[in-house]
Amino acid sequence: MHTKTIYEAVGGADGVLSLARAWHERVMADEIVAHAFAGGFQPNHIERLAAYWGEAWGGPQIYSERYGTESDVVRIHSGNGPHEEMDHRSIACLERAMDDVELVDPRLRHVLLDYFTWATTTTMAAYPTDASAVPDGLTIPLWSWDGLRRGP
């Protein structure tokens, strides 16, 4: 049983930001995954991603307070058709990003990959044909050492 949240185990705000930066660098260097960013991205994309991950992993609710809701995030990732190869490569980029920032704890790596795989292949892939079909009011899914947290 872990007493720390995933957010704390990654290294808090600084650790999550480092991982987000490493992942972003990896995806931008990947010819398939970088295509998702061909239309551009917010100049503060890395900070927004870190805030989102941090909140999902038990950290402060910075994403929800500053940037938007889960509905907003899912809409950004919707309406682009199916993209399984890009998803799998994006997941591989996270694994390499964990190497880059020297996250070596096998349990932490497993939990982060489980989270990212789940988020990439379920919530972010739920509306491949129509971003307007994403319902309002979605909240950021919270992830624990045991997976998706249900309820408070």
CATH number for position 98:
1.10.490.10
Q: Answer yes or no: is 118 within a domain.
A: yes
pLDDT > 90 fraction of the chain, expressed in percent and rounded: 80
Q: Answer yes or no: is 34 within a domain.
A: yes
- Structure token digits, residue 134: 């994403």
State the residue for tokens 């972003």: 24
Q: Answer yes or no: is 73 within a domain.
A: yes
92-142 per-position pLDDT tens digit: 999 999 999 999 999 999 999 999 999 999 999 999 999 999 999 999 999
The domain of 79 spans 6-148
Q: Answer yes or no: is 131 within a domain.
A: yes
pLDDT of residue 151: 54
**Residue 56, Cβ density class (10 Å: 0-12 exposed, 13-18 middle, ≥19 buried):** buried
Q: Answer yes or no: is 31 within a domain.
A: yes
Number of structural domains in the chain = 1
Q: Answer yes or no: is 1 within a domain.
A: no
Instruction: Specify the pTM.
Output: 0.92
Instruction: Give the DSSP per-residue string, 92-104.
Output: HHHHHHHHHTT--
Q: Answer yes or no: is 140 within a domain.
A: yes
Nearest alpha-carbon partner for 113 in 86, 94, 100:
94
Q: Answer yes or no: is 105 within a domain.
A: yes
Does residue 7 contact residue 77 with C-beta atoms inside 8 Å? no
